[in-house]
């Protein structure tokens, strides 16, 4: 850790305030039961070059911590602000064993010459405040690890000094809460962390204890660490845990996108899924190989990702803020079976899905497997016959090219290409009521771990890699074209209608809402076995496709910037369509540009387009091919998906 103190290297210079009385720190008006809004104190730092101490004024206010110092040479004032958002936590008490160099000293009496340079007595009555911060810097975008140590010794009584340090500590926490941040400690709950020890090439445990646990300790975050021991462990844990909402303030996945998928689908199978999705924000720390969501969240928050993705994602999860995020309901019907699952990343058919899954046999060579298999697939280019149907987003035209133009530094303008001759445009008359999810109001402490502590290996059970190739029959069984209102009145069946006939109108509504709240969200589009109505604006395309890939986050992985226009909660699915007939040269440029987000065509293109939609359906004509959902292979067959806007909340640094 970098121990940054008030030295000339930090440019913390300035004409400090006048020395104050030694009894208590200067404070402004107190609010909310005694906690001041502003604290100010004079500190000194030893300067061996000048053989004297440097005086610094430190002021704590709602904006953060100001450090102010002046120089004698040029009579300039220099100051630094540590923003309250950049402070992750603080600790107070006696001097820590692993104390960083050059703490700021609050002297007993700065009016006495030489007093500030006195050596420490044998019995140190000082109290210390450790402020942990990660300063956000631009150009390049990064976080700088910073530690400020304030030493309080304005009294010979350690208890008095400790009270002063404690006051500063609680004032910092109060200002963070006032800035919209909340921590598990504020609500008396723990943070649930689910860790796959096999993630990160089998180094998940080591990555957590070395990079994540120290940050949690600095931020005083109490957490419950659960280690996955078998496939579907995380899903079953969140699905069956009765005290999930009462005990935990949020859920953090320390793995790749696969474990996040398990947690999401486990939540959606709970009877109280609506409340769980509303009250439990989800976070992700990229300890795995597929890290599309972590990169998308960093992009959304304008936070750095490389070169320390685990550090930056952990800071995001500890920021205490959240943002709504869309979820996509996916329905499959392979071989007369039926499955419903919930996706947060993408659905793929064709080229990218083929490369992702078929290159698994080359996993031993690392990320280069994708490049090698992409070359193989371009040489032996495949196309798939089938029907693609999609429901355009309101006010959108196909294709959206603004992001592609911005990436190429070209003026933004909207181009509308001609549709292929096989496309059938159906006039829109009824809106898709996606996203109208409402709910009625519903009626252990973890031992702190020191930074130098090493987690006991016996706490971790061996686990095998998570596998999602086996489906669980989902409880959702409504697959008709009825609207939600029609489904609402058909919930109870004949016997329930008989009981309701003896109720008042308000009692009937309350009973029906209670029943509806216990059901998983239903589709607002026709079931996969039913034809698409001609009155709802569906566009259908028949033909041969090289690829159809739907994304609802900006990144499919840390280096694939697939949907530049996407936002976490925009209620849109970005459908990238590549039709047969595209040249290998154009496909090669498409693949090479994926990491920069410049792969989308600028204007009209007869073979490649991207369509913002609310729902889509893929009906392959053959029985041979690959389909992926969130990067994992699913059984091949008809598939459809629709967006459910803002269904869950994800941890971010800039909440809504």
By annotation, the residues acting in catalysis are 257
Residue closest to 525 by CA, chosen among 568, 478, 560: 478
- Report phi then psi at 620, rounded to 5: -65, 145
Give residues with Cβ within 8 angstroms of 210, minimum separation 6.
none
Helix (H, G, I), strand (E, B) or coil at 30: strand
Neighbours of 412 (CB within 10 A): 10
**Looking at residue 329, what DSSP letter applies?**
E
What is the bridge-based pairing of β-strands 248-255 and 190-195? parallel
Strand partners, 44: 55, 105
Taking the CA of residue 588 as centre, how many other CA atoms within 13 Å lie in the half-sphere pointing to its CB? 9
Is residue 2 classed exposed, middle or buried when 0-12, 13-18 and 19+ CB atoms within 10 A define those classes?
A: exposed
| Residues ≥6 apart with Cβ < 8 Å to 311 | 143, 211, 215
Of 430, 587, 429, 590, the closest CA to residue 524 belongs to 430
CA end-to-end span of the chain, whole Å? Answer: 32
Element (H, E) at 79: strand 77-83
Q: What secondary structure does DSSP assign to 335-381, as a single string? A: GG--EEEEESSEEEEEHHHHHHHHGGGGGGGTTHHHHHHHHHHHHT-
């Amino acid at each position: 850790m970098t121990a940054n103190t008030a030295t000339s290297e930090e440019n913390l210079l300035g004409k400090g305030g006048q020395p104050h009385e030694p009894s208590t720190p200067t404070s402004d008006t107190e609010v909310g039961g005694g906690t001041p809004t502003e604290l100010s104190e004079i500190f000194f730092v030893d300067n061996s070059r000048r053989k004297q101490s440097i005086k610094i004024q430190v002021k704590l206010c709602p904006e953060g911590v100001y450090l102010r110092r002046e120089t004698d040479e040029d009579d300039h004032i220099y100051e630094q602000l540590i923003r309250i958002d950049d402070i992750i936590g603080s600790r107070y008490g006696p001097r820590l064993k692993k104390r960083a160099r050059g703490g700021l000293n609050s002297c007993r009496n700065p009016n006495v010459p030489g007093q500030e340079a006195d050596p420490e007595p044998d019995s140190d009555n000082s109290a210390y405040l450790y402020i942990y911060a990660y300063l956000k810097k631009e150009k390049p975008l990064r976080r700088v690890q910073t530690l400020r140590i304030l030493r309080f010794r304005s009294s010979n009584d350690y208890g008095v000094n400790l009270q002063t340090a404690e006051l500063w500590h609680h004032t910092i926490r109060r200002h963070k809460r006032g800035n919209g941040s909340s921590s598990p400690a504020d609500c008396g709950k723990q943070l649930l962390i689910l860790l796959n020890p096999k993630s990160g090439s089998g180094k998940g445990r080591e990555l957590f204890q070395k990079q994540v646990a120290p940050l949690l300790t600095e931020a005083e975050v109490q957490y419950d660490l659960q280690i996955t021991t078998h496939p579907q462990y995380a899903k079953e844990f969140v699905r069956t845990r009765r005290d999930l909402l009462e005990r935990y303030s949020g859920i953090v996945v320390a793995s790749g996108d696969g474990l996040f998928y398990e947690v999401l689908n486990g939540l959606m199978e709970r009877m109280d899924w609506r409340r769980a999705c509303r009250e439990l924000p989800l976070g992700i720390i990229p300890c795995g190989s597929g890290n599309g969501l972590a990169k998308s969240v960093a992009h959304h928050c304008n936070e750095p990702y490389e070169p320390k993705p685990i550090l930056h994602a952990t800071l995001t999860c500890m920021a205490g803020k959240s943002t709504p995020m869309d979820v996509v309901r996916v329905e499959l019907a392979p071989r007369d079976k039926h499955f419903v699952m919930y996706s947060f990343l993408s659905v793929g058919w064709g080229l990218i899905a083929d490369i992702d899954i078929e290159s698994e046999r080359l996993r031993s060579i690392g990320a280069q497997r994708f490049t090698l298999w992409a070359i193989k697939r371009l040489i032996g280019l495949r196309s798939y016959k089938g029907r693609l149907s999609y429901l355009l987003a309101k006010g959108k035209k196909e294709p959206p090219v603004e992001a592609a133009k911005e990436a190429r530094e070209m003026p933004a303008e909207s181009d509308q290409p001609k549709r292929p001759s096989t496309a059938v445009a159906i006039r829109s008359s009824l809106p898709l009521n996606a996203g109208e999810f409402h709910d009625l109001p519903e009626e252990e402490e973890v031992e702190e771990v020191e930074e130098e502590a090493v987690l006991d290996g016996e706490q971790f059970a061996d686990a095998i890699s998570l596998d999602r190739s086996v489906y669980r029959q989902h409880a959702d069984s409504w697959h008709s074209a009825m609207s939600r209102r029609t489904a609402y009145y058909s919930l109870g069946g004949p016997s329930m209608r008989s009981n309701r006939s003896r109720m008042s109108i308000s009692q009937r509504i309350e009973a029906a809402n209670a029943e509806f709240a216990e059901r998983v969200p239903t589709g607002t589009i026709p079931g996969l076995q039913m034809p698409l109505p001609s009155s709802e604006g569906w566009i259908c395309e028949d033909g041969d496709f090289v690829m159809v890939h739907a994304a609802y986050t900006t990144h499919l992985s840390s280096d694939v910037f697939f949907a530049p226009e996407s936002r976490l909660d925009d209620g849109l699915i970005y459908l990238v369509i590549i039709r047969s007939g595209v040249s290998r040269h154009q496909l090669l440029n498409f693949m090479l540009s994926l990491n920069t987000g410049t792969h989308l065509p600028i204007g009209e293109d007869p073979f490649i387009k991207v369509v913002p939609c609310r729902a889509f359906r893929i009906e392959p004509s053959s029985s041979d091919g690959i389909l992926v959902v969130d990067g994992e292979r699913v059984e091949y067959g008809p598939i459809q998906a629709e967006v459910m806007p803002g269904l869950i909340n994800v941890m971010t640094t800039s909440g809504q």
